[in-house]
Amino acid sequence: MARTSLQCRECKKQYDTAFKYVCDDCFGPLDVKYNFPTVTKNTFVNREHNYWRYFELLPIENKSNIISIGAGMTPLIKADNLGKKLGLNNLYIKNDSVNPTFSFKDRPAGVAISKAKEFGLSAVGCASTGNLASATAAHAAKAGLPCHVFAPSNIEMAKIAQALSYGANYIAVDGTYDDANRIAAQIGDSKGIGIVNINMRSHYVEGSKTLAYEVAEQLDWQVPDQLIVPVGSGAMLNAICKGFEELQTVSLLNDITNMHMIAAQPHGCAPIVDAFKKNSKEVIPVENPDTIAKSLAIGDPGDGRYVLKRLEQYNGFAEECNNKEILDAILLLARTEGIFTEPAGGVSVAVLQKMIEQGKIDKNDSVVCYVTGNGLKATEAIMEVLQKPKVMKANITEISAVVN
């Protein structure tokens, strides 16, 4: 019996594993389904310190196809200083800003590129708001595969430089992420290129569920009460839920029904929050996203309605925050915990603050806040609110006078 298959999320029709991502009958998205082997908590002891330690729960058939640059098993920080400021006793920061390309995208990109190798594809690519461009290009370089990146032309320069450094063919699209995504989809299908977050999406999203596996293991196989997840396309939140469900399926976790999922989006591109607050099942796209959180500026979120289902399933909420709140949250996290995040992580922390203010998080709840990208990848926004250093002469008397 094959280790994995594909199943339609809508009509539940099953398929053999293949380079395929849409159901033939209803055009619903296909998810990877597993015949899980028996695993125990001891299965993962003394394994490599990256997310491939969970090989049995991931969709690669043969370990020889794994493309790894060492991503995963990032710190779960007990954020006592920030917790004290916010009135929380059990706050944790899942710090994915320290991955090899400095964002959580190393997780899905690594799984997708590994599967592309297993499928025998000759080229890969992605549509990106920046972080995925770097992650895909880095893994493609390691795999020796050509990589084509389609991204809006106005993303942060550091992210463009990073992807170019790995040797990607970088196509800067004069338009939004959704424009870049549409073009990538058409070119990927017509040329047989593995576009990781489009025609490889079924396998790609499996990388993000390792954010659930690691948190559970790092909490000694306990389920957090509250999880704050920054949301762009919605794939990450959906995958984290799938990850916890699978850990319950293989009996590594007990009841997970009491965890609360909180979707965090930036004002100016918060279509899922808008739908949630209107109690609507329809996510209306934002045509022209306007936010400093460019990595979350996805106006038409592919998994938007599935996020709404997850919020209903797991007693969740959705909230947004404005640019000032994002910048304030970046500085708050940096100055309490020494973690410098890009605006997407600021969105998580800002929404966490709002949930506390609204009485939706208790001071004794176990809270995990996901920080998904490094601040050095998006310095333009934060520089606007930082005090410019004063240049002084190399005079000990003058400089001593300003050092308190």
DSSP 180-225: HHHHHHHHHHHHT-EETTTTTHHHHHHHHTHHHHHHHHHTTS---S
pTM beyond 0.85: the answer is: yes
- Residue 2, pLDDT score: 76
Q: Which two tokens stand for residue 354?
A: 């709002």
What is the pLDDT at residue 37?
A: 94
Mean pLDDT by 10 residues, the chain (404 residues): 91 97 97 96 95 98 97 98 98 98 98 98 96 97 98 92 96 95 96 97 98 98 98 98 98 96 98 98 96 96 97 98 98 98 98 98 98 95 92 95 91
DSSP-derived letter for residue 323 is: H
Is 355 in contact with 349 (CB distance < 8 Å)?
Answer: no
Judge contact between 323 and 258, C-beta under 8 A: no
pLDDT for 364 equals 98
Q: How many CB atoms lie within 10 A of CB 163?
A: 28
Pair of tokens at residue 41: 């908590």
3-state secondary structure of 167: coil
Q: Please tell me the predicted confidence (pLDDT) of residue 1.
A: 60
In order of 3, 25, 78, 84, 355, the CA distances from 81 in angstroms are 44, 52, 9, 5, 18
- 398: CB partners within 8 A, 6+ apart: 392
Q: Are 335 and 307 in contact (CB under 8 A)?
A: no
Q: Which SS3 state, helix, strand or coil, does residue 7 take?
A: strand
H or E, element range at 302:
none
d(CA 177, CA 296): 10
Which residues sit opposite 90 in a β-bridge?
366
Q: How many residues in total does the chain contain?
A: 404
CA distance linking residue 359 with residue 349, whole number of Å: 16
pLDDT at 50: 98
Q: Residues 126-135, buried b or exposed e (16+ Cβ, 10 A)? A: bbbbbbbbbb
User: What helix, strand, coil percent values describe the chain, rounded to 5?
Assistant: 40, 15, 40
Please give the Cα distance from 171 to 174 (Å, whole number): 10
In this structure, which amino acid lies at residue 295? S
HSE-CB at 162 with a 13 A cutoff on CA atoms is 25
Helical segments of 304-363, H only: 304-313, 323-337, 343-357
- Half-sphere exposure for 35 (CA within 13 Å, toward CB): 8
Beta bridge partners of 152: 173
Could you tell me whether strands 147-152 and 169-173 are parallel, antiparallel, or unpaired per DSSP bridges? parallel
- Vertex 183, ends 346 and 174: CA angle to 5°? 65
